[in-house]
């Protein structure tokens, strides 16, 4: 078989000017729609993450897909981090700067117990603001961030600079 990374890349579709002009959106729906590509991707992600994990966080919404699969394989719990107003119980919130304005993410206050090892997963690492806010939420709850893990990294946006001090891993780099 071909190099697995090159094989997975075939299932990522570039959508120009979505959601606004100048953005090339990395669409993972062709990958999600193909069971072989999903299995291959899950296995490649698993090769790169720590094995001792208590909780896997998926970031709304495209982080949920692989985070749940990783949690199942790692025998860990899955935790959704969502936009404000979506989670029904009490939440911790963290805000972060966007190009224009700011955004906020929320996590249930009892999602992580102090001392738990937490793996954070999202589909795309762009500027790193989202992932840094989620790391802040984990630490607010007393958890330990063992890795920030991504399917895709847009290296030219230098998101890793915002995540200095944490182990970061991504499968596909553009
Ligand atoms: P950032 O906070 O800049 O690292 O942005 C990361 C979040 O925005 C992730 O949740 C991604 O799903 C989404 N995102 C940013 N840029 C893209 C892109 N080019 N294609 C797909 N999703 C993106």
What are the chain's domains?
A: 50-173 (3.40.50.2020)
Portion of the chain with pLDDT greater than 90, in percent? 96
Catalytic: 82?
no
pTM assigned to the model:
0.97
Determine if residue 24 is left, alpha or beta; phi over 0 gives left, psi from -120 to 50 gives alpha, anything else beta.
Answer: beta
Catalytic choice (13, 99, 136, 139):
99
Q: Ligand 1 atom 5: the closest Cα is on which residue?
A: 126
Say what the pLDDT of residue 2 is.
80
Q: Ligand 1 atom 15: the closest Cα is on which residue?
A: 126
Closest atom of ligand 1 to CA, residue 62: 12
Per the DSSP assignment, residues forming a β-bridge with 122 are: 150
Catalytic: 44?
no
Say what the pLDDT of residue 99 is.
72
- What tokens were used for 36? 């072989």
Closest atom of ligand 1 to CA, residue 132: 2
């Amino acid at each position: 078989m071909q190099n697995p990374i090159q094989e997975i890349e075939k299932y990522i579709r570039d959508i120009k000017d979505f959601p606004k002009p100048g953005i090339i959106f990395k669409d993972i729906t062709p990958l999600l729609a193909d069971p072989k590509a999903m299995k291959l991707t899950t296995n490649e992600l698993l090769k790169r993450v720590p094995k001792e994990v208590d909780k896997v966080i998926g970031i709304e919404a495209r982080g949920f897909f692989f985070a749940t699969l990783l949690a199942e394989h790692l025998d860990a719990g899955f935790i959704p981090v969502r936009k404000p107003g979506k989670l029904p119980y009490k939440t911790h919130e963290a805000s972060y700067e966007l190009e224009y304005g700011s955004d906020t993410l929320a996590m249930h206050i009892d999602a992580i117990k102090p001392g738990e090892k937490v793996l954070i997963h999202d589909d795309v690492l762009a500027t790193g603001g989202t992932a840094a806010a989620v790391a802040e939420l984990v630490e607010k709850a007393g958890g330990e961030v063992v890795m920030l893990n991504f399917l895709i990294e847009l290296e030219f946006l230098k998101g890793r600079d915002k995540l200095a001090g944490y182990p970061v891993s991504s499968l596909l780099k553009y």
